[in-house]
Every structure is written in structure tokens, then in C-alpha cells.
Amino acid sequence: QELDEARRWEGACDVGPLDGNMRRWTGLLLPNNPPYNTGAFRFELTFSLHHPLEPPCATLRTPIYHPSVDCEGRVCQPLTTAVHWKPTTRATHVLQDLLLQLDSPDPKRLMRPDVARELQERPEEFRRRAEEHTRLHAEPRPD
């Protein structure tokens, strides 16, 4: 049921189990705003055996120049921490929160302090680098 909901959500496409594993989903996030809206970003959503009592883990598999995503694709996502997680939170909410971070980078959600500092102090340089990184690494957006 959650997978069907995620498949219908317009912020992503090609959402489905990774290698047939229903505890690991993959798909493409489709950012709406520059500097990331020229590409699509592959994500993985991994669910524990205790889901929905425990949050899933979201990872970006497409490299991205972003203050909230480290070089391994780990995301600073407070929604999926034990403090904020509620069993009623849906997988689509996790994906919506992730897309919101891509559309509106928040330098307070830190995984890469150097990139966050650049975003705050030199926003034009940040945007140029993020656009170039997107051009080089993002997947093509579907038609």
C-alpha cells in the first residue's frame, strides 16, 4: 500500500523494490528548483524489520553537491530520527521531506559544513558548483 502511494506521488518516478526486496526501494527524485531541477537523483529507502515502529533510512545514490548530503549519500533528515519519527509517518512523507531539502537547501541541516558555509557566504558560487555537479552526475529527467 505504501509502495503504491509512493509510485503515485509526482515528486518521484520509477519507484519500486530494489532487486525484488520490499524492504529496499529505489527510484528517481525530481527536484523542482535550481540548481538541481535539470536532473533526476536516484534514491534508496531502506526499511528495518521493525518498520513502521522504526524509521526508514533514505540515501541518495546519485552524487550531489548539497550541504545536507554527505559524499556517501547519507542525508541529514531529522524526520527519520528516533526523536521525531512516528509510526504513522508514511514513506511518501520521507520522500517529500527529502525533495523539499533538494528544492530548498538548509545550511542548518549539516552533513558537509564546507558546502553549507559556501551556500551562506557565497550563494552564487554554491549554485554554480551545484549546477555543474548536477550536469555531470544526475540522471536524465524522464519525459
In angstroms, rounded to a whole number, what is the distance separating the alpha carbons of residues 98 and 142? 19
- In the chain, domain spans: 2-137
Q: What is the mean pLDDT of the chain?
A: 96
Q: 79 to each of 71, 101, 114, how far by Cα in Å?
A: 20, 12, 23
The residues annotated with a catalytic role in the active site are 76
- pTM beyond 0.85: the answer is yes
Of the pLDDT bands very low, low, confident and very high (cuts 50, 70, 90), residue 46 is very high
We find that the CATH architecture of domain 2-137 is Roll (3.10)
- pLDDT at residue 108, rounded to an integer: 87
Dihedral pair phi/psi, residue 26, rounded to 5°: -135, 165
